[in-house]
Amino acid sequence: MEENRNSVLEIQDNRPEVKELFSNLKKELPNLEKLFKKCSGQGGYEDPIYRFYHQSFKVYWLQDTTKEIVETLQALSPNLELNPKFLSIVSEGQGKQFKREDNARWLETTRPILEAFFHARYFLEMAVRYGNELEFPPNRLPSGWASFLHLYNLR
Protein backbone atom coordinates (compact mmCIF):
# COMPACT_ATOMS: atom_id res chain seq x y z
CA MET A 1 0.00 0.00 0.00
CA GLU A 2 2.82 2.43 0.89
CA GLU A 3 4.54 1.60 -2.43
CA ASN A 4 1.40 2.54 -4.40
CA ARG A 5 1.10 5.81 -2.46
CA ASN A 6 4.74 6.67 -3.22
CA SER A 7 4.35 5.89 -6.93
CA VAL A 8 1.26 8.14 -7.12
CA LEU A 9 3.19 10.93 -5.39
CA GLU A 10 6.00 10.58 -7.93
CA ILE A 11 3.66 11.10 -10.86
CA GLN A 12 1.79 14.01 -9.27
CA ASP A 13 2.70 17.64 -9.71
CA ASN A 14 2.80 18.69 -6.06
CA ARG A 15 3.67 22.33 -6.48
CA PRO A 16 1.28 24.28 -4.22
CA GLU A 17 0.15 26.65 -6.96
CA VAL A 18 -0.67 23.73 -9.29
CA LYS A 19 -2.52 21.88 -6.54
CA GLU A 20 -4.53 25.01 -5.75
CA LEU A 21 -5.32 25.58 -9.44
CA PHE A 22 -6.37 21.94 -9.84
CA SER A 23 -8.55 22.06 -6.71
CA ASN A 24 -10.26 25.23 -7.94
CA LEU A 25 -10.68 23.67 -11.37
CA LYS A 26 -12.47 20.68 -9.84
CA LYS A 27 -14.70 22.93 -7.69
CA GLU A 28 -15.64 25.16 -10.63
CA LEU A 29 -16.05 22.37 -13.17
CA PRO A 30 -19.89 22.63 -13.37
CA ASN A 31 -19.64 26.37 -14.13
CA LEU A 32 -16.83 25.80 -16.62
CA GLU A 33 -18.86 23.11 -18.39
CA LYS A 34 -21.85 25.42 -18.56
CA LEU A 35 -19.75 28.22 -20.06
CA PHE A 36 -18.11 25.83 -22.53
CA LYS A 37 -21.53 24.60 -23.64
CA LYS A 38 -22.64 28.22 -24.09
CA CYS A 39 -19.68 29.03 -26.37
CA SER A 40 -19.83 25.75 -28.31
CA GLY A 41 -23.39 25.61 -29.55
CA GLN A 42 -25.19 27.20 -32.45
CA GLY A 43 -25.65 30.60 -30.84
CA GLY A 44 -22.27 30.85 -29.16
CA TYR A 45 -20.02 29.27 -31.76
CA GLU A 46 -21.60 28.45 -35.12
CA ASP A 47 -23.46 31.71 -35.56
CA PRO A 48 -20.66 34.10 -34.54
CA ILE A 49 -18.22 32.38 -36.90
CA TYR A 50 -20.82 32.53 -39.67
CA ARG A 51 -21.21 36.24 -38.90
CA PHE A 52 -17.51 36.72 -39.61
CA TYR A 53 -17.86 35.20 -43.08
CA HIS A 54 -21.19 36.96 -43.67
CA GLN A 55 -19.45 40.21 -42.73
CA SER A 56 -21.97 41.03 -40.04
CA PHE A 57 -21.30 43.42 -37.19
CA LYS A 58 -22.61 40.68 -34.87
CA VAL A 59 -19.13 39.10 -34.91
CA TYR A 60 -18.16 41.93 -32.54
CA TRP A 61 -20.39 40.33 -29.89
CA LEU A 62 -17.76 37.59 -29.50
CA GLN A 63 -15.76 40.07 -27.45
CA ASP A 64 -18.23 39.67 -24.58
CA THR A 65 -17.91 35.89 -24.63
CA THR A 66 -14.13 36.10 -24.80
CA LYS A 67 -14.08 38.47 -21.84
CA GLU A 68 -16.33 36.14 -19.83
CA ILE A 69 -14.09 33.15 -20.57
CA VAL A 70 -10.91 35.02 -19.63
CA GLU A 71 -12.41 36.31 -16.38
CA THR A 72 -13.63 32.81 -15.50
CA LEU A 73 -10.23 31.26 -16.18
CA GLN A 74 -8.41 33.99 -14.26
CA ALA A 75 -10.70 33.40 -11.27
CA LEU A 76 -9.43 29.82 -11.02
CA SER A 77 -6.13 31.21 -9.81
CA PRO A 78 -6.44 34.94 -9.17
CA ASN A 79 -2.95 35.17 -7.66
CA LEU A 80 -1.29 34.02 -10.87
CA GLU A 81 -0.92 36.21 -13.93
CA LEU A 82 -2.12 34.68 -17.15
CA ASN A 83 0.34 33.97 -19.95
CA PRO A 84 1.51 37.22 -21.60
CA LYS A 85 1.18 35.79 -25.13
CA PHE A 86 -2.41 34.85 -24.39
CA LEU A 87 -3.14 38.25 -22.84
CA SER A 88 -1.65 39.97 -25.89
CA ILE A 89 -3.89 37.98 -28.23
CA VAL A 90 -6.93 38.73 -26.08
CA SER A 91 -6.06 42.41 -25.82
CA GLU A 92 -5.79 42.75 -29.60
CA GLY A 93 -9.26 41.22 -29.96
CA GLN A 94 -11.03 43.37 -27.37
CA GLY A 95 -12.37 46.91 -27.17
CA LYS A 96 -13.51 47.09 -30.78
CA GLN A 97 -16.64 48.98 -31.76
CA PHE A 98 -18.14 48.44 -35.20
CA LYS A 99 -17.77 51.33 -37.62
CA ARG A 100 -18.98 51.27 -41.23
CA GLU A 101 -15.44 51.80 -42.48
CA ASP A 102 -14.49 48.46 -40.86
CA ASN A 103 -16.20 46.78 -43.80
CA ALA A 104 -13.39 47.93 -46.09
CA ARG A 105 -10.80 46.35 -43.75
CA TRP A 106 -12.90 43.44 -42.53
CA LEU A 107 -10.18 40.82 -42.10
CA GLU A 108 -7.74 43.22 -40.48
CA THR A 109 -10.40 44.49 -38.09
CA THR A 110 -12.28 41.35 -37.12
CA ARG A 111 -9.73 38.52 -37.24
CA PRO A 112 -8.24 39.55 -33.89
CA ILE A 113 -11.71 39.19 -32.34
CA LEU A 114 -11.99 35.63 -33.60
CA GLU A 115 -8.41 34.78 -32.72
CA ALA A 116 -8.93 35.95 -29.13
CA PHE A 117 -12.15 33.94 -28.90
CA PHE A 118 -10.54 30.79 -30.32
CA HIS A 119 -7.63 30.94 -27.89
CA ALA A 120 -9.88 31.62 -24.89
CA ARG A 121 -12.29 28.87 -25.92
CA TYR A 122 -9.37 26.45 -26.37
CA PHE A 123 -8.16 27.02 -22.80
CA LEU A 124 -11.70 26.67 -21.51
CA GLU A 125 -12.02 23.38 -23.41
CA MET A 126 -8.75 22.13 -21.90
CA ALA A 127 -9.95 23.11 -18.42
CA VAL A 128 -13.17 21.16 -18.91
CA ARG A 129 -11.49 18.15 -20.54
CA TYR A 130 -8.74 17.72 -17.97
CA GLY A 131 -10.94 18.75 -15.07
CA ASN A 132 -13.05 15.73 -15.99
CA GLU A 133 -10.28 13.31 -17.02
CA LEU A 134 -7.62 13.85 -14.38
CA GLU A 135 -7.79 12.69 -10.78
CA PHE A 136 -4.73 14.73 -9.82
CA PRO A 137 -2.33 17.09 -11.60
CA PRO A 138 0.24 14.83 -13.29
CA ASN A 139 3.95 15.29 -13.83
CA ARG A 140 3.77 13.50 -17.20
CA LEU A 141 1.67 15.90 -19.11
CA PRO A 142 -0.90 15.44 -21.81
CA SER A 143 -0.41 18.33 -24.26
CA GLY A 144 -3.72 19.96 -23.37
CA TRP A 145 -2.94 19.95 -19.65
CA ALA A 146 0.54 21.30 -20.40
CA SER A 147 -1.08 24.12 -22.42
CA PHE A 148 -3.46 24.83 -19.55
CA LEU A 149 -0.48 25.14 -17.18
CA HIS A 150 1.17 27.52 -19.67
CA LEU A 151 -1.91 29.74 -19.35
CA TYR A 152 -0.95 30.26 -15.70
CA ASN A 153 2.81 30.36 -16.42
CA LEU A 154 3.28 27.07 -14.57
CA ARG A 155 5.01 25.21 -17.38
- Give percent of the chain with pLDDT exceeding 70: 94
**DSSP code of residue 55:** T
What are 67-102's pLDDT values in tens digits? 999 999 999 999 999 999 999 999 999 999 999 999
pLDDT at residue number 11: 85
Q: Tell me, what amino acid is at 109?
A: T
pLDDT attached to residue 61 = 96
pTM: 0.91
% of the chain with per-residue pLDDT over 90: 90
